[in-house]
């Protein structure tokens, strides 16, 4: 019973936190868009390349964290089984 309640509470909390995440991310999109438009007018390719590298860098951190959490979760829920004795 406790485990089910904890899982449901965690899922609800995670859902609420994920629903609030786009609000902060959307504010940054306007800055990126204005930076790219200004670079297009000035024909400055270096700023656009740097912006693209920054976006890729920011995308890698959440994927690494999600992968680590998934790995440890899998290891915890699927413990190694000892080889059957013949």
Q: How far apart are CA 34 and CA 30, in angstroms?
A: 6
Q: How far apart are CA 29 and CA 51, in angstroms?
A: 12
Structure pTM? 0.45
- The pLDDT tens digits of the residues spanning 34-73 come to 777 777 777 765 567 777 777 788 888 889 999 999 999 9
User: In this predicted structure, what is the pLDDT of residue 86?
Assistant: 47
Query: Domain coordinates of the chain in residue numbers?
Result: 25-75
Rounded to an integer, what is the distance from CA 76 to the centroid of its chain? 22
């Amino acid at each position: 019973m406790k485990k089910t309640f904890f899982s449901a509470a965690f899922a609800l909390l995670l859902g609420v936190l994920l629903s609030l995440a786009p609000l902060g991310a959307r504010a940054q999109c306007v800055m990126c868009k204005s930076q790219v438009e200004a670079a297009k007018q000035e024909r400055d390719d270096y700023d656009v390349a740097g912006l693209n590298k920054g976006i890729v860098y920011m995308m890698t951190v959440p994927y690494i964290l999600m992968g680590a959490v998934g790995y440890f979760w899998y290891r915890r829920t699927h413990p190694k089984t000892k080889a059957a004795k013949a």
